[in-house]
Copies of this chain bind each other. A is one copy, B any other.
């Protein structure tokens, strides 16, 4: 299997962590890819019209997207427990992951607004709204002891990726001071090799 990959992508990091934890990483070739809004990349768009990372390309050529569905696929392939199979916990973990995914989407929109977009065209209300979504989401998880102390699932992976991306692209945002329990959770997670090896490189 091939995974289109960039060490800067929090979505690609999510899949990488899952693949390591599931014991599948040796079966996956990480294929470097680079995409940016406003910049064409016709070769990559032939793989996925969305021009987004990551996608998983199977041996038969089938393309699996997005990062969430890839983790579902790998989890089923390995018989893993990153997503509970049934019951209320299943929907809680899935909904937590959707929230974290949306927080990452908003953080990327903040990045594009404040760096990629030409300076004269930036809209403060948009930036503040999307940052507020990410920040309110962190505040929500600060109070979620069941996630912070619970079993290792795609929700914990998603939260690690949110916090790592905050360090990577919004180093001065002050999340550790505002959310001490998230800080403690993040430190604990960094003891896992999968999390440690996938920390984004210094910006």
Q: Which residues of A contact B (CB under 8 A)?
A: 37-40, 45, 48-52, 62-66, 68-69, 72-73, 88, 91-92, 94-95, 98-99, 101-103, 105-106, 112, 117-118, 120-123, 125-126, 129-130, 133, 136-137, 139-140
Copies in the assembly, this chain: 2
* A101 proximity list for chain B (CB < 8 A): 66
**A49 CA to B120 CA in the complex, in Å?**
29
* A51 proximity list for chain B (CB < 8 A): 129, 133
Assess whether B49 is in contact with A64, with CB atoms less than 8 Å apart: no
Assess whether B95 is in contact with A136, with CB atoms less than 8 Å apart: no
**A103 CA to B48 CA in the complex, in Å?**
11
**A99 CA to B51 CA in the complex, in Å?**
10
* A99 proximity list for chain B (CB < 8 A): 48-50, 65
Q: How far is the CB of A126 from chain B (nearest CB, A)?
A: 5
Assess whether A49 is in contact with B121, with CB atoms less than 8 Å apart: no
Residue in B38, B65, B137 whose beta carbon sits within 8 Å of that of A49 in the complex? B137
* A88 proximity list for chain B (CB < 8 A): 62
**A129 CA to B69 CA in the complex, in Å?**
24
Q: A95-B69, A129-B38 are in contact. Are A102 and B52 (CB under 8 A)?
A: yes
**A62 CA to B91 CA in the complex, in Å?**
9
Assess whether B126 is in contact with A37, with CB atoms less than 8 Å apart: yes
**A174 CA to B137 CA in the complex, in Å?**
39
**A102 CA to B45 CA in the complex, in Å?**
13
**A109 CA to B135 CA in the complex, in Å?**
21
* A137 proximity list for chain B (CB < 8 A): 49-50
**A121 CA to B102 CA in the complex, in Å?**
24
Assess whether A123 is in contact with B121, with CB atoms less than 8 Å apart: yes
